[in-house]
Amino acid sequence: MNEQVKRQLQARIESFAADITAVLQAAVADAVSNAVGAGRAKVTRVAAKPGADRSPVGAAALLREIARRPGLRVEQIAKNIGVPSKSLKAPVAQLVKAKKLKKSGAARGTKYRVA
């Protein structure tokens, strides 16, 4: 095989491994959450502090997804990761503010790429 094909295969393998890791992490988190919550009769929710990160997606995973597929809108990124697009609003804004992401466009047409 030539080097270009090897690089493409390696990139696909790494992407697949990252996807599988994200799915497994979400499944483990869900299982732990269910196991911990099973012993409680009533679950009470406490309001989060203003500015608290409520996103189930970490900044590293979000950056990895955007680096893998630059130029996508938040809705598309959320679909690829498997989370609601509203849950990405705060982490994306924080990454843009930290100058780790660049955006182009406006409103729902805003597209993101790694800075």
User: Structure pTM?
Assistant: 0.52
Query: Between residues 38 and 115, which one has the greater pLDDT?
Result: 115
d(CA 4, CA 74): 31
Number of Cβ atoms within 10 Å of the Cβ of 23: 12
Own/partner long-range contacts of 77-81 (Cβ < 8 Å, ≥24 apart): 77/112, 81/22, 81/57
Query: Between residues 49 and 19, which one has the greater pLDDT?
Result: 19
Res 53: pLDDT: 45
Report domain extents, the chain. Answer: 1-44, 46-115
pLDDT tens digits for range 22-79: 788 877 777 777 777 655 444 444 444 454 445 567 888 888 889 989 999 999 988 8
Q: Check: CATH 3.40.50.720 for 46-115?
A: no
Per the CB < 8 A criterion, the answer to whether 103 and 109 are in contact is: no
Res 3: pLDDT: 87
